[in-house]
Amino acid sequence: MTSLGVRRITLADDRRPNFVTLEHVDAGKTVLYAVFFEVEKDKARKRLVLRVQSAYVLEGGLTKRQREAKKIALRTLLRNVQRGTPIRA
């Protein structure tokens, strides 16, 4: 999560903005590790909250939707959430 600003982020589900970043991990063999997260506005404290929903190895590789997902920069994602602007797929 500390390197999220330089990682490729894709829109995992445009119905409830859910995002994913993928990493190739080599533990004897190359596997794909996915971290699914969401970002929302904390209205009470005027800050953004990034919540990791799940993180696990993708045993079967990428799904078609994951392969074709649009990417978004972290800066753009955070700015859009802060302004209340929809995330476009």
Residue 52: domain span:
4-79
What's the whole-number mean pLDDT along residues 38-66? 87
If one compares 88 and 37, the residue with the highest pLDDT of the two is 37
pLDDT band at 58 (very low <50, low <70, confident <90, very high): confident
Does position 7 have pLDDT exceeding 60, yes or no?
Answer: yes
40 occurs within a structural domain: yes
57 occurs within a structural domain: yes
Of 73, 60, 68, the C-alpha closest to 34 is 60
Counted domains in the chain: 1
87 occurs within a structural domain: no
Helix (H, G, I), strand (E, B) or coil at 1: coil
56 occurs within a structural domain: yes
pLDDT band at 39 (very low <50, low <70, confident <90, very high): very high
37 occurs within a structural domain: yes
pLDDT digits (tens, 9 = 90+) for 13-38: 767 778 888 877 776 777 788 889 99
- Tokens linked to 2: 């500390």
Question: Is-contact 8 24, C-beta < 8 A?
Answer: no
Q: Distance between CA atoms of 47 and 11, rounded to whole angstroms?
A: 22
What stretches of the chain adopt beta strand conformation (E)?
A: 9-13, 18-26, 30-42, 47-57, 71-72
88 occurs within a structural domain: no
84 occurs within a structural domain: no
36 occurs within a structural domain: yes
Q: In this structure, what is the dihedral angle of CA atoms 35, 43, 6, 58, given to the nearest 10 degrees?
A: 10
